[in-house]
Amino acid sequence: MQIGIFTVGDVTTDPTNGTTPSEHERIKNTVAIAKKAEEVGLDVFATGEHHNPPFVPSSPTTTLAYIGAQTERIILSTSTTLITTNDPVKIAEDYAALQHLVDGRMDLMLGRGNTAPVYPWFGKDISKAVELTIENYQLLRKLWSEPVVNWEGKFRTPLQGYTSTPAPLDGVAPFVWHGTIRTPEVAELAAFYGDGYFANNIFWPKEHYIRLINFYRQRYAHYGHGTAEQAIVGLGGQFFMRKNSQDAVNEFRPYFDNAPVYGHGPSMEDFTEQTPLTVGSPQQVLERTLAFADYFGDYQRQLFLVDHAGLPLKTVLEQLDLLGEILPTMRAEFDARRPTNVPDAPTHAARVAARDAALTEEVSV
């Protein structure tokens, strides 16, 4: 089980004192948060990708390489890389370059993006978002698996005798997760390629995501990658913790009430009851998170949103300290309940070893 954090990189005014970090501060804070995540023992740090205010992470591979240079163990990922509006040729290059720089300590999560105006900014038609997702991803896979590519599609100029550089590290492409909120086609895409499937698990009640994850698991099995239980699933989540649960509730309420996504809407009590948001003690967060596996099946990656809604850096780092305290138990409990035939979360080293084992088997046959 890999446990980590993911960020959208929003620049949001702190509702308790009216201060807003500058873009520069937010960018530097993100690096501090990532370094802290490694320090407390987390496995993954993932950054979003946005091209409009009030967000800062427009250049994920730059950010992740910088963090990679200052960390040793933590896996660097995205949440999400826009497969619709980025040129897949550039995604292939950028993420392969990152993979080399950080010695394979990275993967990426693809998504369609949630901001309509971004499409025309990058010359794309939003009404074709799903088709773009499919075609761009099929090309990305080709670029990472074939040394010389001849390709023709609907949405970009054809490629003839094209070689993507650098080639993936050790000949094994970065592992890909497909982030989703609602689209069954994304589940099908993840299942067909045997990739990971990451359910946002933040905005809506669990039933919505259970349906999508079950569908992905069935299709993963259908395409012969393993049994439904062996499919690679990731989940989002969010919490706010204090040692004393009432302190957590009191402290987080103004941030919840003014949060960009759900602020000025449902009460925090209703929202925590109806969605996976947990506001309370570390023990409550631990129990609620472990229950995810009861609903979604044993899964491989859990990412939490901890740095949104204008929470000050100091508070975010405290949240990470508290998460670090329950981390060993959380990991042990997840691993203890996972059947032996359900795989661990993918790492570059494990995937290279699996590839080599498969090659050895071929040779000996």
Partner 1 sequence: MTRIVALSAGVGEPSTTRLLADRLAAAAGTALGGASIEVVNLRELAHEITDAALTGFAAPRLQHVYDQVGEADALIIVVPTFKASYPGLFKSFVDALDNDALIGKVVLLAATGGTARHSMVIDFALRPLFAYLQSVVVPTGVFASPHDWGSAGEGTLQSRIERAAGEMASLLGGQGSGRSKDDGIDLFSETMLSISQPD
DSSP alpha helices (H): ranges in the chain?
23-39, 60-69, 88-101, 118-121, 129-145, 184-193, 206-222, 245-257, 268-274, 282-296, 313-337, 348-364
Burial environment of residue 285 by CB neighbours within 10 A (0 to 12, 13 to 18, 19 or more): buried
Return the number of the residue (149 or 327) whose C-beta is nearest partner 1: 149
Beta bridge partner(s), residue 241: 280
Shortest distance (Å) from residue 199 CB to partner 1: 15
* C-beta closer to partner 1: residue 91 or 248: 91
Q: In the complex, which residues of this chain contact partner 1 (CB under 8 A)?
A: 130-131, 134, 138, 141-142, 184-185, 188-189, 192, 215, 223
DSSP state, residue 263: T
CB of 184 to partner 1, least distance (A): 4
Report the nearest approach of partner 1 to the CB of residue 127 (Å): 8
Minimum CB–partner distance for residue 151 and partner 1 (Å): 8
Cβ 142 to partner 1, closest distance in Å? 7
Amino acid at 179: G
Two structure tokens written together for 148? 């010389």
For residues 155 and 271, which CB has a smaller minimum distance to partner 1 in the complex? Answer: 155
Instruction: Rank residues 178 and 348 by Cβ distance to partner 1 and give the closer one.
Output: 178
CA distances to 134, 173, 239, 308, 323 from 320, in Å:
36, 31, 11, 13, 5
Cβ 170 to partner 1 shortest distance, Å: 24
- Chain center to CA of 17: 31
> Which is closer to partner 1, CB of 220 or CB of 240?
220
Kindly state the smallest distance separating residue 167's Cβ from partner 1, in Å: 20
Cβ-count burial of 57 within 10 angstroms (0-12 exposed, 13-18 middle, 19+ buried)? buried
Angle at 271 between CA 267 and CA 276, to 5 degrees: 160
Q: Quick one: which of 253, 311, 309, 319 has its CA closest to 281?
A: 319
What is the token pair recorded at 272? 């925590």
Amino acid sitting at position 51 = H
* Smallest separation (angstroms) from partner 1 to the CB of 190: 10
Q: Is the dihedral of CA 84, 87, 89, 94 positive or negative?
A: negative
Judged by beta carbon, residue 138 or residue 245, the one nearer partner 1 is 138
| Plot region of 2 (φ>0 → left; ψ -120 to 50 → alpha; else → beta) | beta
146 versus 273: smaller Cβ distance to partner 1: 146
Nearer to partner 1, 130 or 249 (CB): 130
For residue 225, which amino acid is it?
H
